[in-house]
Structure 1
């Protein structure tokens, strides 16, 4: 059987470059497909087309944008199984998680379809002093212009959706660069966009290396750069010039368990294990640090260890699989090194994982030193850490002891503790009675500190991709 070959999309047209990138099945290591690899010429063509399409895209009516997005919703639904299998293959994501991500892709485009005709302005009172008598004011939101989007490997459908769908709703032309490790789902999104009436020059989906993509960061014709990934985002921001920049750069999320968590132990542990190990821990809001009140520590540690041992590792295409491979050998090497160092420094192993190539069985540790990389940095793998504190305030302090600040979960039965957490936690989002891994696709999502700047979530992303334009009208003189 021949290897499938997919084109990229440059100015809305399928393009093959003669240079093919192998995309592997992350479980078997075999080449699953090839995708055309772009060079500087295709990147320049894509940026030029997006810049030229600003007026056409801004004039593309809101109801037509909605129709494009609704077409995508229908077609993604029709291709749901295909997209899930493709995602399972190229990312190594367990098939159940893959189906969940396809559903979120559909949700995100559906939310954007609803928002496309609700991008409203404001009429406001200007007569605040005698000198302003006779003036009327109103605003509208207008598209910011051409956007560049760079997305990572771990959610290759939904993180693309959170950039592309709001851009279409807002009327912004765009150039998308998905991860070279997981580019196939984005090309299917390109196939579906090519079926619509979206202006052709207004969109490109290209696959290229970091060097070729530099103009997506530096070119002044790009009005907004939206990047999801790692710490390199700060370097991109420094190189971006005057353009607006939105960054989501990860975290090492904490989940606090209060003296009275307000939920049964079995439910608590089920959610903690989900948050820590779903899609092999490769999520920016994966539960990495479980901070437990001493009154609950022994029960939570014992029950969580028991649940982690029951997780099944293996072929992500198997319906029973909980843990698939990490994305590549380098990630497995790094994680293995960090775990070994934490263990050597006194961390207690509650559940010991094993490695087989890129397959890492889940680990659970306790009392890891706070200066260990496994504690300080983003693990991005199937590992969680438990630590014990003597008070709720101490738990808040521990959660804040991080240079990241994306989301934090808090299990507590006390309203005053929930509100104190909302007041004091230095994060972009606080989730009460659940894990920090919760993300509903219409909510504002983003972080503080080294976790980034700006917010996604469809409406929030539309605000990032639009600007306020003021209209002032002076009443004519009375006759």
Structure 2
């Protein structure tokens, strides 16, 4: 194991005291909870457990600020976001270390997330000056002839954002930056497992010049349900589990929502695929972030004629990965978010092996860590196949008829992204037409996302699309203007 620097150890040794951000002021909460490093089990921070009274204050601040942020010219909002991006780069090492301690994410992955987050901010800055309407020609009818009509876009007002722990900085940037770019105020409910990095991000936006009340940040589990029900909220954007997404949808009433939910990460490897390329991509994308990504490769259907070759290559690649201290730069796979999550994944592996599946490598738990695990012979009804594992586990399944695989994927309750490796353009087009998912990745795995794309799913995988351009479209509302001559 690589040595951790004394400077890094000192920087993360003392538990931080994290305040809330309400109306441009940092506020301490009456009640706090301890945040623990899932690898060392030591306390990393004491975070506020925000109250309903503090939620009320945050919403009032957002309502007061919405006209201020809406009145900012687009170029000023873009400049603000660029300043935030520059500050994020300057503070990247500290934020990555906090992320690694709070979530157990390998430090190399934490640093990569900061780079992506800067992209999200710069892309949002570019989109801030591209919000445009359209002209509607009315002379297609006698009633409309001689009239001029166009559509304009305006900010919705107050946005409620709720983000998860698995990519805490970048997913928060995907809520905050488009909201500001579109001229909205935001109340963000931070993930309880990673409050420190959200606090650092909030400081960046304050230091970049965000108007007081345009960004408010709360913590803990109490305020979430009340936030999405509150009539002062005009739009809800959420990333998390399908169960929580369904509750938010039910509570939101007639207000619009964007829900980025779970998936079961299917990738298809056809007989004509380049196995040497496909196997390492699938292997590494199943274990990256310890499998805690909604598009993590979870189940790979491989044509039977290539199955044995593919299995050997995947197992060999997975065995190269280093499980260890998340702060060690040599570590590839850190911890799950906590030991309870690791125990759940361990039980799902046990269910699979109890039903006849075979663990080809890995499978053991060490505290909050699960060894990178490859499973063969899993049945469709097993949780490691039909549900979202959210851990470093990949199941390899042979197939004979690709149409049956298309049907299985499309009939699944999930529909986020599916990858397919094939040399056939005809098959690729057939996959695009047949697979009912939010995205189809040709000659790539399910785990592919760049931050400017429209990202999201169908069915239990969500509603709406993320990506700055698409989030801004959701965070604005159209208004018709008619000149009646």
Residues 47-62 of structure 1: matches in 2 within 5 Å? 47-62=59-74
Tell me which residue corresponds to 2:395.
385
Residue 2 of structure 1, CA deviation: 4.3
Separation (CA, whole Å) in 2 of partners of 1:356 and 1:217: 37
**1:258 and 2:270 aligned:** yes
Residues 284-299 of structure 1: matches in 2 within 5 Å? 284-299=294-309
Moved more, 24-33 or 161-170: 24-33
Tell me which residue corresponds to 2:168.
156
Moved more, 131-140 or 163-172: 131-140
Tell me which residue corresponds to 2:108.
96
Separation (CA, whole Å) in 2 of partners of 1:89 and 1:102: 15
In the superposition, the TM-score normalised over structure 2's length comes to 0.95
Residue 461 of structure 1, CA deviation: 0.5
2:480 partner SS = strand
Separation (CA, whole Å) in 2 of partners of 1:197 and 1:314: 39
1:48 partner SS = helix
Separation (CA, whole Å) in 2 of partners of 1:404 and 1:192: 36
**1:439 and 2:480 aligned:** no
Tell me which residue corresponds to 2:6.
none
Residue 78 of structure 1, CA deviation: 0.5
Identify which of 5, 9, 16 aligns with 2:21.
Answer: 9
Residue 48 of structure 1, CA deviation: 1.4
Separation (CA, whole Å) in 2 of partners of 1:34 and 1:107: 30
**1:315 and 2:320 aligned:** no
Residues 139-218 of structure 1: matches in 2 within 5 Å? 139-209=151-221, 211-218=222-229
2:223 partner SS = coil
**1:222 and 2:233 aligned:** yes
Q: Answer yes or no: is the 8 Å Cα contact 1:406–1:428 preserved in 2.
A: yes
1:300 partner SS = helix
Deviating runs (4+, > 3 A) in structure 1? none
**1:459 and 2:469 aligned:** yes
Residue 178 of structure 1, CA deviation: 1.2
Tell me which residue corresponds to 1:366.
376
Separation (CA, whole Å) in 1 of partners of 2:14 and 2:430: 59
Residue 269 of structure 1, CA deviation: 1.5
Q: Answer yes or no: is the 8 Å Cα contact 1:40–1:213 preserved in 2.
A: no
Residue 401 of structure 1, CA deviation: 4.0
Tell me which residue corresponds to 2:10.
none
Q: Answer yes or no: is the 8 Å Cα contact 2:349–2:363 preserved in 1.
A: no
Q: Deviations over 1:432-457 (max 9, x none)?
A: 11111111000001111111111111
Q: Answer yes or no: is the 8 Å Cα contact 2:38–2:339 preserved in 1.
A: no
Separation (CA, whole Å) in 1 of partners of 2:54 and 2:224: 10
**1:66 and 2:78 aligned:** yes
Q: Answer yes or no: is the 8 Å Cα contact 1:170–1:462 preserved in 2.
A: yes
Tell me which residue corresponds to 2:49.
37
1:213 partner SS = helix
Residue 137 of structure 1, CA deviation: 0.9
Tell me which residue corresponds to 1:236.
248
Q: Answer yes or no: is the 8 Å Cα contact 2:292–2:390 preserved in 1.
A: yes
Q: Deviations over 1:400-448 (max 9, x none)?
A: 3421000001111111111111111110011111111111000001111
Residue 242 of structure 1, CA deviation: 2.0
Specify every segment of 5 or more residues in structure 2 that has no aligned partner in the other structure, as ranges: 1-12
1:438 partner SS = coil
1:470 partner SS = strand
Moved more, 104-113 or 328-337: 328-337
Aligned residues: 472
Tell me which residue corresponds to 1:410.
420
Q: Deviations over 1:325-350 (max 9, x none)?
A: 11112111111111111111111222
Separation (CA, whole Å) in 1 of partners of 2:237 and 2:95: 24
Residue 124 of structure 1, CA deviation: 2.5
Separation (CA, whole Å) in 2 of partners of 1:183 and 1:437: 26
Tell me which residue corresponds to 1:448.
458
Identify which of 279, 282, 285 aligns with 1:275.
Answer: 285
Q: Answer yes or no: is the 8 Å Cα contact 1:252–1:376 preserved in 2.
A: yes
Tell me which residue corresponds to 2:94.
82
Tell me which residue corresponds to 2:7.
none
Residue 125 of structure 1, CA deviation: 1.2
Separation (CA, whole Å) in 1 of partners of 2:157 and 2:329: 44
Separation (CA, whole Å) in 2 of partners of 1:404 and 1:246: 16
Tell me which residue corresponds to 1:336.
346
